[in-house]
Amino acid sequence: MVRTHGRSAIGLRLVDDNGDAAWEWPDGLLVEQPDPLLPHRVVVYGVAIDFPRAGRYDPVMLANGAPLAAHALWAQAGEPA
């Protein structure tokens, strides 16, 4: 995480292939970033994302409600673990 300064509320959003939010974990974690030029690693444990159906999704990390990072992935139907 770079380009943020001070305290940020970190959340997660799952965006489907239509651009709609399929799942959201808003403001789930509070992160303190004293220097915006230094990288800061954010690790989120214990969050189970519910994929409503198979297809393409973008998990988006949010900082204070604004998109910070995203990465496309494909979800496939399968047996529950």
Which residue has tokens 């393409």? 56
Total residues found in the chain within this entry: 81
pLDDT above 90 for 36: no
Q: Would you state the pLDDT for residue 28? A: 82
pLDDT above 80 for 31: yes
How many angstroms separate the CA atoms of 65 and 18, rounded?
20
11 C-beta neighbours (distance < 10 Å), count: 20
Q: Would you state the pLDDT for residue 14? A: 96
Is the whole model's pTM more than 0.95, yes or no? no
Angle at CA of residue 13, ends 15 and 54, nearest 5°: 45
